A and B are shown apart, each in its own frame.
Chain A
Amino acid sequence: NAGVTQTPKFRVLKTGQSMTLLCAQDMNHEYMYWYRQDPGMGLRLIHYSVGEGTTAKGEVPDGYNVSRLKKQNFLLGLESAAPSQTSVYFCASSPNLSYEQYFGPGTRLTVT
């Protein structure tokens, strides 16, 4: 039982490049989330999903897109990376919105 996994663990992009971060969970959770974590800012919700085929905007959605084609996977895309998107990205899942979330190990992204 791997829980929540994220790939890749590290990535360096040049401004304007695109990439996709993959999150996978094996707990059959309906809800999945993408956060970014920056020093002094805590966790900020980017997008989330309440089930396969659904997505919704969080607190800081601009510059990101997401897709949930399969229940176990939640993809976060950056179409044109900017230095302001340098951050650590965390994926999480939960059985419902109010219950505890289970987090992945994170992806450290640097945009130069």
Chain B
Amino acid sequence: AQSVTQLDSQVPVFEEAPVELRCNYSSSVSVYLFWYVQYPNQGLQLLLKYLSGSTLVESINGFEAEFNKSQTSFHLRKPSVHISDTAEYFCAVSDPLNRDDKIIFGKGTRLHILP
């Protein structure tokens, strides 16, 4: 079964500074990868996903993530954060070739934007 690790439970960053939230997954022949965002007192929303094709995927609000097969990573980046990016971010992984495999979520990284 897949597993996913988010090494940082909290990441403080100044407004307008760049940020990287790290995500590593256990090796597999095939993977689907996801980043979800949870704003305070809300449910999780899909931010972006990698299913196949280009290894660099982007969201509509300026985040991007790169699928790196050799490093089994899917780190989330944004070149300049805004106060509205304050949220918890969850990385998730699944194995599309295993029909019994559910999406596995990481434990989340809380992004604190400092004024």
Contacts and interface: CB of A to CB of B under 8 A. Distances in A.
B78 to A, nearest CB: 20
Contact of B34 (A42, A100, A104, A105): A100
Interface in B4-55: 9, 32, 34, 36, 41-46, 49
Interface string B96-115: 10111111011110000000
A106 B101 contact: no
A97 B94 contact: yes
Nearest to B95: A98
A98 B32 contact: yes
Interface residues of B, number: 25
The DSSP consensus for interface residues of chain B is loop
Interface residues of A, number: 21
Nearest to B42: A105
A90 B45 CA distance: 12
Interface in A74-95: 90, 92, 94
A90 B108 CA distance: 15
B90 interface: yes
B43 A99 contact: no
A41 interface: yes
B100 to A, nearest CB: 7
Given A42-B105, A98-B103, A100-B103, A90 B44 contact: yes
The 7 closest A-B pairs by CB, nearest first: A42-B107, A103-B43, A98-B94, A98-B96, A103-B44, A43-B105, A105-B43
24 contacts: A41-B107, A42-B90, A42-B105, A43-B44, A43-B90, A43-B108, A45-B102, A48-B102, A92-B44, A97-B100, A97-B101, A97-B103, A98-B32, A98-B94, A98-B95, A98-B101, A98-B102, A99-B32, A99-B94, A99-B103, A100-B34, A100-B49, A100-B103, A101-B103
